[in-house]
């Protein structure tokens, strides 16, 4: 980011912040009162929100008799009356008494975004959850997806550890693919496949989650993992006849380490038989961490008139991670503009956003080395060897590198720039008929730089080399989307129809370039003088450039029908074609249908306001993970051919091609129930879903011979998934001054079952062994199995243990030998599961856990008393286990030498051999967290002439976690981070886990 | 104002409609950074670039720790002991040493895949070259190279499928052939192409198969014919060896280690070399695999070493003291470049809690003792002589750049001696063995026996991947020896077909006994 720009913005924001609060002046005001009743049964309504129409911070609620009394500034021209389950009404202030009748469930009910349009909540017949901005999580939020973490049943959002630059893993309704994209399709204001980085959390108005296949089918081949639709905030009519609303908010956050690795202290380490005493005392966990400070500034202007609106926002955030040399700085700007024309027949929408983000990563390998570094070693030293390596304490030993040196000596950073622009034109020639054209372009650029110092003893390229290594890389994604849709909305008496038809064309282009050099005269060049590299490299090692492109074309249609707001039906259809599919399978069809009926409209049930039952069925798809998998392509291989004294390049097929490659298919059915009770004070829904994914793409084993290499992309998998989701919102207390509401959502995940992973090309048995622990010490040790067959190879003797169901079809089954104690020689002994008289670490194993969760809970609570508010959100995930890889490697004294290890070694102080992976290293990782906590005050500033709203708050994140798991982070690991996040190998807590953090935020929001 | 909006609206509609018509359903995949398969072979100039892959696979055969360089594990020459926590690796190395391997071992799977990658690459190139002109020598060379891959397949796995075509249906699953069928296939192939192979030697054929390499493969095949087929073929073996010897094109190099140095292409002894290179051919990892952790700085390596493979005690002591080849076994106290003994801070100390646990007898000073206290679990970290046959190259990183001789002339001389001995001509045999011994600076043998000939083959050819088939041929492979208390069953003469191959091909039968 340009540093002038940065400084300028800092100055502006700081100025604004300091200048505030001093200008609160008195103004004229008036008082209005009245009674609010139900339009149908004339009963008075308790707890109705009465606010100034233009400023929701000035308000009250109706009392036990439905009466209200509100004092507003003279400039307020209208009052707004809102109540859950009733249509909001805005009424002009014409006298001092205004009595209002609210109609339950009528036209202006809440809407949800469903893709290519919206639907009223009461009409929705599939599982869709909408979260509005007022219900978003608060506190130190830097990734938009955090806003709804825990809020949506069936949606899990996880990030192990507090790395500020790591992405969240998003998983909707469990796993439905293992070779393709496991994350939901993100749609931002209609732009499909947009990146969450292109949007600042402050600019989001709502997030809608299309959970089931019947709704998601409108997005065809990209919807199998669900769809999340994000709608940004739009301009609103400014209050008091001003031109614009201005909002400013800022917050400061301090983040600290919540949990570190349980490594041996210096004192404990010295009790190890092979300890080497360097006569100092360093807590390496402390040495590589710090408190991280973050700041956020947001400024937005918006306004609207009868036929136009705009909103402009600037957002700046800067965050330091708790590990040395990690952090980011981000500037984001957004413009949303709407203009009507042709006597309001034409509506033009223009959205533009730009994000500039700088990231510093730190060499996170340091975390891995810190787990083993000798606690008696000092951080710096002046002996010859240490001096040679920059004055950091270093010794020549296997896998023994000073972690502080790694973080401080080397540079790893990146810049991510993103521009997203879209233009939409809606033309309505006759009422109800709308033609729309939509075009968007998204450019994402990433630029990475790495420099490994000449004095860095360890580098990923060499150890002890004094060369210096530099690398620079750019990646560009260009995405273009063009869509043309037509909708027709017509009512006949009690029938209402809505028809949608459309065409979609999109193109993705990816370009990549990097260069690498080694051997630099000075560290001063960093990665800015690659041409001066003196070290010899092959061209392949020194540089690379690459380009790919793909096209996706879709035709789609939808029919919505509504009879008397009582019976509803939605049918979707999409036909998608992709250039990534093989020559023989270019086009796929994706239908979806759902229907529902509100029983309450037919039968009068006491206390019940709504009881809608619904059912759905749909087919969605998934694209191949990358282009060109279906084609025979040649490229150079890593090693060159020695020919007549020279090395010449060798070209070979890039992969075994598959011209039959096609989309994955997920067929899902579901039933659901939406309910509302006690005048809409209790509302919620219950859903059951069951999906079968077929033709799953997998880099499957094929026979060698006849195939030249043993893997190939095939559509051969089948997987079954099901679950139950329940959510309920309760407006528990609704008094004039005090309100309490609570939201609870529960998700039960049934085990994900692998049905098939073979076909006629790749057949016979189908056991997959995954989660290989690897070097050091544990080469050839796998931790996870999954099989399509109930009959495992004879040597597997997995027998039911007390808790876990013994079924090899379940994805994520962790298998391990069962530790039985030490023998007289101090050797670790294990159960001879197959009873053949000898223990074999590969064969004598049982299922000891599963990496995927069984149950998830989110529980939010909001209290308000006059202007004060408090809310907290508790989240729990249960049933998953984790392999504590650090313990499995470094949990016995035998591995200690110069290197230290984990506290677990104290429990095995008498062991004379090892390490052997066993059930000792697999732990249940159930947890309950206080995810968010916020306490604040909304000041009533109706008297002020200059400031219309002021909110101050403190918020905490991750304040406590209850778990029995002994590692740093009990969060679910949805994929193996050492195996491309392979989703078939969940449950491995690898050594590179960033520490868990907790944070405390102080913030202020101002409205002008 | 209104007019502007009208015309803008109309313009947008027109533009959109135009776009729809233009590329409405076009889904061609455009390739930018690869060479599409159908175009690659249209340019004859590309052939040499396609050809190389059949050979570059030999880097994987030879250089990896599971490859030829580590293939004497399981014999009486090398082993990878478990040193405390290091090198347990789920017991795979113990099982290799004791012949109790399973069909799931990484090394079993790797050998199968690497060898068949070679076979299938040759098959693919044969198919792609077939329609082209002037490619007969290339086709002969590819068929001979394929026969070499099959030579290792018959030796290690025995009853393997003979796959000699690339154009098979997608769901084709070959069944096993018998070891005899594979034997006949290799013999026939080599004899058929023999006359088309070049008799040129030197740089152009260093690392490639010429007439003499093909004779060498034949000689090896015939030498082991009794093991492979039950019928000995000493005469045929003799003829093949004589073809090489009598050609006069190969000689023993003056210095034994000239065959293993950074560039061995000028050694007159190498029949088929693998030219590893730190830049262009990165696969040889013996320097890291064998050296103790604290020797890295001394040799100027830019990576950590692994302290893995070392020589068995009995093999070390089988050398006479003045045997020049003993220099390939790094042992004894180790000194840095200033002459100070190197210290190993993580040497095994006395453990009061486990008084029976072995401790290093001479403290932190690095001393690579030829004696090994045990195979597992607490072999001392400084135990065992290390593989220094491939002279260490300063500046080596993850990979090193020595050349590796797959076949060399010394082996031909020893084979010739063996055939003479087996055909009742022990006297003449001695002259051939003694050529090799004389270069090593040791006294000539008076009489050649099976025992001293096998031992001599070990001292000459250690860590070149010949020992397993030698010991099987001499019948000593299955015997008990150091840290191998059981006589291994006869079926262990073949490795199991890997589980990963069986699991995707139901037509494939496991070898007997597994």
Residue A119 sits in the same domain as residue A88: no
Residue A769 sits in the same domain as residue A897: yes
Residue A78 sits in the same domain as residue A127: no
Is the pLDDT at B7 greater than 60? The verdict is no
Confidence class for position A38, pLDDT limits 50, 70, 90: confident
Closest CA to B499 of A785, A66, A713: A785
The whole-angstrom separation of Cα B39 and Cα B50 is: 13
- What ipTM was predicted for this assembly? 0.90
Give the mutation candidate from A345, A429, A441, A650 for the B interface (greatest B CB count, under 10 A): A650
Is the pLDDT at A398 greater than 90? The verdict is no
Number of domains in chain A: 3
The token duo for A830 is 């294990």
Residue A903 sits in the same domain as residue A799: yes
Residue A89 sits in the same domain as residue A137: no
What is residue A764's predicted lDDT score, i.e. its pLDDT? Answer: 57
The whole-angstrom separation of Cα A797 and Cα A836 is: 11
Phi then psi for A906, rounded to 5 degrees? -65, -35
| A912 at interface of B, judged by CB pairs closer than 8 A | yes
Reported as a single tens digit per residue, the pLDDT across A555-599 is 999 999 999 888 999 999 999 999 999 988 899 999 999 999 999
CB contact under 8 A, A553 and B24: yes
Burial class (CB in 10 A: 0-12, 13-18, 19+), A507: middle
Residue A115 sits in the same domain as residue A97: no
Phi then psi for B196, rounded to 5 degrees? -90, -5
Which of A204, A237, A270 marks a domain boundary? A237
Residue A735: inside a domain: no
| B30 at interface of A, judged by CB pairs closer than 8 A | yes
Provide the 8-state DSSP code for A135: G
| CA atoms within a 13 Å half-sphere pointing along the CA-CB vector of A239 | 28
What is residue B8's predicted lDDT score, i.e. its pLDDT? Answer: 55
| B7 at interface of A, judged by CB pairs closer than 8 A | no
**Least confident stretch, A265-269, A297-301, A584-588:** A584-588
Name which residue leads in pLDDT, B215 or A701.
Answer: B215
Reported as a single tens digit per residue, the pLDDT across A105-161 is 543 467 888 889 888 888 889 999 999 988 898 888 889 999 998 899 999 888 888
Give the mutation candidate from A630, A641, A716, A765 for the B interface (greatest B CB count, under 10 A): A641
The whole-angstrom separation of Cα B85 and Cα B11 is: 74
Residue A767: inside a domain: yes
Domain span at residue A802? Answer: 763-810+813-850+883-920
Confidence class for position A765, pLDDT limits 50, 70, 90: low
Which of A178, A207, A237 marks a domain boundary? A237
CB contact under 8 A, B49 and A633: no
Which residues in chain A are closer than 8 Å to B508, comparing Cβ atoms?
Answer: 703
Distances (CA, A) of A44 to A47, A503, A730, A733: 10, 50, 20, 17
C-alpha B277: how far from chain center: 16
CB contact under 8 A, A645 and B265: yes
- Would you call B314 helix, strand, or coil by DSSP? helix
Reported as a single tens digit per residue, the pLDDT across B278-297 is 999 999 999 999 999 999 98
CB contact under 8 A, B377 and A912: yes
CATH code of the domain containing A117: 2.170.130.10
Is the pLDDT at A802 greater than 50? The verdict is no
Q: Give the highest mean pLDDT range of A159-163, B337-341, B376-380, B454-458.
A: B454-458
Is the pLDDT at B16 greater than 80? The verdict is no
Residue the block writes with tokens 């309504």: A45
Facing residue for A642 by CB, picked from B275, B351, B504: B275
Residue A163: inside a domain: yes
Residue A122: inside a domain: yes
Residue the block writes with tokens 């039906």: A569
- Describe the crossing of helices B179-193 and B211-223 by its angle, rounded to 10 degrees: 150
Which of A898, A920, A942 marks a domain boundary? A920
Confidence class for position A480, pLDDT limits 50, 70, 90: very high
Cβ–Cβ under 8 Å, residues A675 and A596: no
Residue A65 sits in the same domain as residue A82: yes
- Would you call B500 helix, strand, or coil by DSSP? helix
What is residue B413's predicted lDDT score, i.e. its pLDDT? Answer: 98
* Alpha helix positions (H), A217-303: 266-269, 284-287
Phi then psi for A760, rounded to 5 degrees? -70, -20
C-alpha B398: how far from chain center: 18
Question: What average pLDDT score do residues A263-291 get?
Answer: 93
| B91 at interface of A, judged by CB pairs closer than 8 A | yes
The token duo for B173 is 């699953």
What is residue A487's predicted lDDT score, i.e. its pLDDT? Answer: 94
Confidence class for position A954, pLDDT limits 50, 70, 90: very high
The whole-angstrom separation of Cα A567 and Cα A370 is: 62
Residue the block writes with tokens 């508790």: A874
The whole-angstrom separation of Cα A704 and Cα B163 is: 10
The token duo for B281 is 């051919």
Share above pLDDT 90 across residues of chain A, in percent, rounded to a whole number: 58
Reported as a single tens digit per residue, the pLDDT across A365-397 is 999 899 999 999 999 999 999 999 999 999 988
Rg (Cα) of chain A, in Å, rounded? 31
Confidence class for position A801, pLDDT limits 50, 70, 90: very low
Q: Give the highest mean pLDDT range of A70-74, A661-665, A759-763.
A: A661-665
Which residues in chain A are closer than 8 Å to B112, comparing Cβ atoms?
Answer: 704
CB contact under 8 A, A840 and B116: no
Cβ–Cβ under 8 Å, residues B42 and A630: no
Is the pLDDT at B50 greater than 70? The verdict is yes
Phi then psi for A172, rounded to 5 degrees? -105, 125
What is residue A20's predicted lDDT score, i.e. its pLDDT? Answer: 38
Residue A200 sits in the same domain as residue A80: no
Q: Please tell me the total number of residues recorded for chain A in this structure.
A: 1008
CATH code of the domain containing A65: 2.60.40.1120
Mean pLDDT of chain B: 92
The whole-angstrom separation of Cα A729 and Cα A748 is: 18
Q: Which residue of B has its CA nearest to A347?
A: B9
Residue A914 sits in the same domain as residue A775: yes
Confidence class for position A301, pLDDT limits 50, 70, 90: very high
Residue A616: inside a domain: no
Residue A62 sits in the same domain as residue A210: no
| A74 at interface of B, judged by CB pairs closer than 8 A | no
What is residue A538's predicted lDDT score, i.e. its pLDDT? Answer: 87
Secondary structure of A546-579 in HEC code, one letter for each residue? EEEEEEEEEEEEEEEEEECCCEEEEEEEEEEEEC
| CA atoms within a 13 Å half-sphere pointing along the CA-CB vector of B486 | 9
Which residues in chain B are closer than 8 Å to A827, comparing Cβ atoms?
Answer: 377
Those of residues 184-213 in B touching chain A at CB distance below 8 A are 203-204, 206-208
Does the N-terminal peptide bond of residue A813 adopt cis geometry, omega within 30 degrees of 0?
no
Confidence class for position A543, pLDDT limits 50, 70, 90: very high
What is residue A26's predicted lDDT score, i.e. its pLDDT? Answer: 43
Residue A974: inside a domain: no
What is residue B350's predicted lDDT score, i.e. its pLDDT? Answer: 76
Those of residues 252-311 in A touching chain B at CB distance below 8 A are 273-274, 276
Provide the 8-state DSSP code for A180: S
Which residues in chain A are closer than 8 Å to B360, comparing Cβ atoms?
Answer: none
CB contact under 8 A, B280 and A505: no
Cβ–Cβ under 8 Å, residues A227 and A257: no
What is residue B6's predicted lDDT score, i.e. its pLDDT? Answer: 54
Closest CA to A453 of A356, A508, A388: A388
Reported as a single tens digit per residue, the pLDDT across B131-190 is 888 889 999 999 999 999 999 999 999 999 999 999 998 888 999 999 999 999 999 999
Cβ–Cβ under 8 Å, residues B496 and B510: yes
The whole-angstrom separation of Cα A960 and Cα A874 is: 10
Residue A826 sits in the same domain as residue A912: yes
| A954 at interface of B, judged by CB pairs closer than 8 A | no
pTM of the model: 0.85
Residue A142: inside a domain: yes
Residue A149 sits in the same domain as residue A83: no
Reported as a single tens digit per residue, the pLDDT across B394-446 is 999 999 999 999 999 999 999 999 999 999 999 999 999 999 999 999 999 99
Facing residue for A914 by CB, picked from B85, B119, B204: B85
What is residue B12's predicted lDDT score, i.e. its pLDDT? Answer: 55
């Amino acid at each position: 980011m340009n540093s002038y720009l940065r400084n300028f913005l800092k100055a502006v924001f700081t100025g604004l912040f300091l200048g505030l609060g001093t200008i609160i002046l008195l103004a004229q005001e008036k008082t209005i009162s009245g009674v609010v009743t139900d339009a149908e049964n004339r009963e008075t309504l308790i707890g109705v929100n009465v606010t100034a129409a233009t400023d929701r911070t000035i308000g009250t609620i109706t009392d036990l008799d439905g009466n209200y009394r509100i004092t507003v500034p003279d400039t307020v021209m209208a009052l707004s009356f809102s109540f859950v389950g009733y249509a909001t009404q805005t009424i002009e202030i014409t006298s001092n008494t205004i009595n209002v009748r609210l109609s339950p469930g009528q036209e202006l009910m809440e809407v949800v975004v469903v893709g290519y349009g919206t639907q009223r909540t009461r009409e929705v017949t599939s599982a869709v959850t909408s979260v509005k901005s007022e219900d978003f999580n608060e506190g130190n939020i830097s990734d938009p997806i955090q806003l709804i973490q825990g809020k949506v049943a069936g949606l899990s959002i996880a990030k192990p550890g507090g790395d500020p630059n790591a992405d969240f893993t998003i998983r909707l309704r469990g796993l439905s693919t293992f070779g393709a994209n496991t994350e939901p399709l993100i749609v931002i204001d209609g732009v499909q496949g947009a990146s969450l980085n292109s949007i600042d959390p402050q600019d989001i108005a709502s997030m809608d989650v299309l959970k089931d296949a019947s709704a998601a089918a409108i997005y065809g081949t990209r919807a199998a993992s669900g769809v999340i639709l994000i709608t940004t905030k739009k301009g609103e009519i400014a209050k008091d006849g001003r031109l614009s609303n201005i909002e400013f908010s800022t917050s400061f956050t301090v983040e600290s380490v919540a949990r570190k690795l349980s490594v041996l202290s210096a004192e404990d380490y010295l009790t190890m038989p092979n300890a080497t005493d360097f006569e100092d005392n360093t807590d390496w966990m402390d040495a590589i961490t710090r408190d991280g400070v973050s700041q956020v500034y947001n400024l937005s202007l918006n306004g609207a008139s009868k036929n136009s609106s705009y909103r402009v926002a600037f957002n700046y955030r800067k965050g330091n991670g708790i590990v040395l040399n990690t952090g980011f700085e981000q500037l984001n700007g957004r413009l949303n503009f709407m203009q009507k024309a042709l006597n309001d027949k034409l509506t033009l929408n223009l959205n533009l956003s730009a994000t500039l983000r700088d990231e510093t990563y730190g060499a996170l390998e340091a975390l891995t080395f810190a787990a083993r570094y000798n606690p008696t070693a000092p951080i710096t030293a002046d002996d010859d060897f240490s001096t040679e390596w920059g004055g950091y304490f270093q010794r020549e030993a296997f896998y023994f590198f000073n972690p502080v040196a790694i973080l401080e000596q080397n540079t790893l950073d990146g810049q991510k720039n993103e521009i997203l622009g879209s233009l939409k034109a809606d033309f309505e020639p006759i009422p109800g008929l709308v033609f729309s054209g939509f075009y968007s372009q998204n450019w994402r650029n990433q630029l990475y730089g790495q420099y490994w110092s000449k004095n860095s003893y360890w580098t990923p390229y060499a150890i002890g080399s004094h060369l210096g290594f530099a690398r620079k890389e750019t990646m560009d994604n260009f995405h273009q989307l063009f869509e043309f849709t037509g909708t027709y909305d017509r009512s006949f008496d009690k029938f209402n129809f809505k028809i949608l038809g459309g065409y979609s064309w999109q193109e993705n282009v990816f370009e990549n370039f990097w260069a690498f050099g080694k051997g630099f005269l000075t560290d001063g060049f960093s990665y800015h003088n690659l041409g001066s590299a003196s070290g010899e490299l092959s061209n392949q090692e020194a540089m690379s450039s690459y380009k790919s492109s793909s096209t996706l074309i879709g035709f789609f249609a939808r029919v919505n029908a509504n009879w008397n707001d009582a019976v509803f039906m939605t049918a979707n259809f999409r036909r998608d074609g992709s250039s990534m599919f093989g020559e023989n399978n270019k086009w796929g069809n994706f239908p979806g249908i759902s229907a529902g009926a509100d029983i309450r409209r037919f039968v009068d049930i006491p206390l019940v306001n709504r009881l809608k039952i619904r059912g759905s069925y749909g087919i969605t798809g998934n694209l191949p993970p990358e282009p060109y998998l279906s084609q025979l392509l040649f490229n150079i291989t890593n090693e060159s051919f020695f020919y007549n004294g020279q090395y010449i390049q060798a070209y070979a097929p890039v992969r075994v091609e598959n011209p039959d490659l096609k989309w994955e298919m997920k067929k899902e059915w579901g039933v659901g129930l939406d309910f509302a009770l006690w005048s809409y004070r209790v509302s919620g829904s219950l859903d059951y879903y069951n999906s079968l994914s077929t033709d799953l793409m997998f880099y499957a084993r094929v026979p060698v011979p006849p195939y030249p290499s043993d893997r190939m992309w095939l559509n051969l998998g089948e997987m079954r998934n099901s679950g139950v989701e329940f959510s309920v919102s309760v407006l528990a207390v609704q008094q004039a001054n005090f309100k309490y509401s609570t939201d609870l959502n529960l998700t039960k995940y049934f085990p994900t079952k692998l049905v098939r992973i073979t076909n006629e090309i790749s057949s016979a048995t189908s056991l997959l062994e995954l989660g290989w622990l690897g070097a050091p010490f544990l080469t050839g040790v796998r931790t996870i199995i999954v099989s399509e067959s109930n009959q495992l190879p004879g040597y597997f003797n997995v027998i039911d243990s007390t808790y876990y169901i013994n079924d090899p079809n379940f994805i994520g089954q962790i298998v391990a030998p069962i530790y039985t104690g030490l023998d007289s020689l101090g050797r670790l002994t294990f159960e001879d599961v197959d009873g053949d008289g000898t223990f074999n670490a590969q064969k004598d194993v049982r299922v000891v856990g599963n990496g995927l969760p069984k149950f998830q809970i989110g529980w939010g609570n909001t209290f308000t008393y006059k202007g004060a508010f408090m809310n907290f959100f508790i989240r729990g995930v249960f049933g998953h286990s984790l392999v504590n890889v650090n313990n499995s490697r470094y949990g016995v004294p035998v591995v200690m030498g110069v290197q230290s290890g984990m506290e677990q070694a104290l429990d095995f102080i008498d062991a004379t051999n090892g390490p052997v992976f066993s059930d000792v290293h697999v732990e249940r990782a159930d947890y309950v967290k206080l995810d968010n906590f916020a306490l604040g005050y909304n000041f009533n500033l109706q008297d002020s002439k200059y400031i219309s709203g002021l909110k101050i708050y403190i918020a905490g994140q991750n304040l406590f976690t209850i778990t029995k798991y002994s590692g740093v982070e009990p969060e679910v690991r949805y994929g193996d981070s050492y195996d491309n996040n392979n989703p078939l190998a969940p449950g491995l807590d690898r050594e590179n886990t960033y520490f868990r953090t907790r944070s405390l935020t102080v913030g202020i929001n101002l409205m002008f | 104002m209104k007019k502007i909006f009208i015309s803008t609206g109309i313009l947008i509609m027109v533009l959109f409609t135009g776009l729809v018509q233009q590329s409405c359903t076009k889904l061609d995949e455009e390739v930018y950074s690869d060479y599409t398969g159908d175009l690659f072979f249209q340019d004859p100039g590309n052939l040499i670039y396609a050809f190389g892959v059949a050979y570059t696979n030999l880097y994987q055969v030879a250089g990896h720790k599971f490859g030829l360089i580590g293939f004497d594990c399981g014999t009486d020459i090398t082993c990878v002991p478990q040193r405390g926590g290091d090198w347990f690796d789920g017991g795979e190395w113990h099982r290799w040493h004791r012949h109790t391997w399973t069909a799931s071992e990484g090394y079993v799977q790797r050998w199968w895949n690497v060898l068949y990658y070679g076979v299938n690459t040759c098959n693919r190139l044969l198919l792609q070259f077939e329609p082209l002109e002037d490619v007969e020598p290339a086709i002969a060379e590819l068929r001979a190279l394929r026969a070499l891959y099959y030579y290792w397949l018959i030796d290690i796995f025995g009853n393997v499928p003979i796959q000699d075509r690339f154009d098979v249906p997608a769901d084709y699953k070959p069944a096993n052939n018998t070891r005899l069928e594979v034997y006949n296939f290799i013999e026939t192939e080599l004899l058929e192409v023999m006359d088309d192979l070049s008799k040129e030697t030197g740089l152009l054929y260093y690392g490639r198969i010429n007439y003499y390499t093909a004779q060498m493969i034949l000689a090896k095949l015939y030498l082991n014919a009794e093991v492979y087929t039950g019928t000995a073929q000493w005469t045929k073996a003799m003829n093949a060896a004589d073809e090489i010897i009598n050609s006069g094109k190969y000689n023993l190099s003056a210095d034994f280690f000239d065959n293993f140095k950074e560039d061995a292409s000028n050694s007159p002894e190498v029949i088929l070399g693998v030219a590893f290179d730190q830049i262009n051919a990165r696969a040889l990892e013996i320097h890291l695999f064998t050296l103790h952790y604290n020797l890295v700085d001394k040799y100027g390596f830019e990576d950590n070493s692994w302290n893995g493979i070392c020589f068995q005690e009995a093999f070390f002591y089988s050398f006479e003291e003045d045997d020049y080849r003993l220099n390939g076994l790094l042992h004894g106290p180790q000194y840095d470049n200033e002459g100070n003994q190197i210290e190993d801070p993580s040497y095994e100390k006395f453990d009061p809690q486990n008084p029976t646990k072995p401790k290093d007898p001479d403290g932190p000073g690095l001393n690579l003792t030829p004696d090994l206290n045990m195979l597992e679990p607490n072999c001392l970290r400084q135990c065992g002589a290390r593989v220094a046959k491939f002279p260490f190259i300063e500046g080596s990183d993850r990979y090193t750049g020595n050349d590796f001789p797959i076949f060399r002339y010394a082996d031909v001389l020893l084979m010739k001696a063996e055939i003479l001995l087996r055909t009742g001509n022990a006297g003449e045999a001695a002259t051939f063995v003694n050529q090799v011994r004389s270069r090593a600076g040791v006294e000539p043998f008076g009489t050649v026996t099976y025992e001293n000939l096998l031992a001599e083959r070990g001292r000459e050819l250690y860590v070149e991947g010949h020992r397993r088939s030698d010991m099987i041929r001499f019948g000593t492979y299955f015997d008990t020896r150091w840290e191998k208390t059981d006589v291994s069953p006869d079926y262990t003469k073949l490795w199991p077909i890997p589980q990963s191959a069986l699991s995707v091909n139901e037509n494939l039968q496991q070898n007997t006994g597994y």
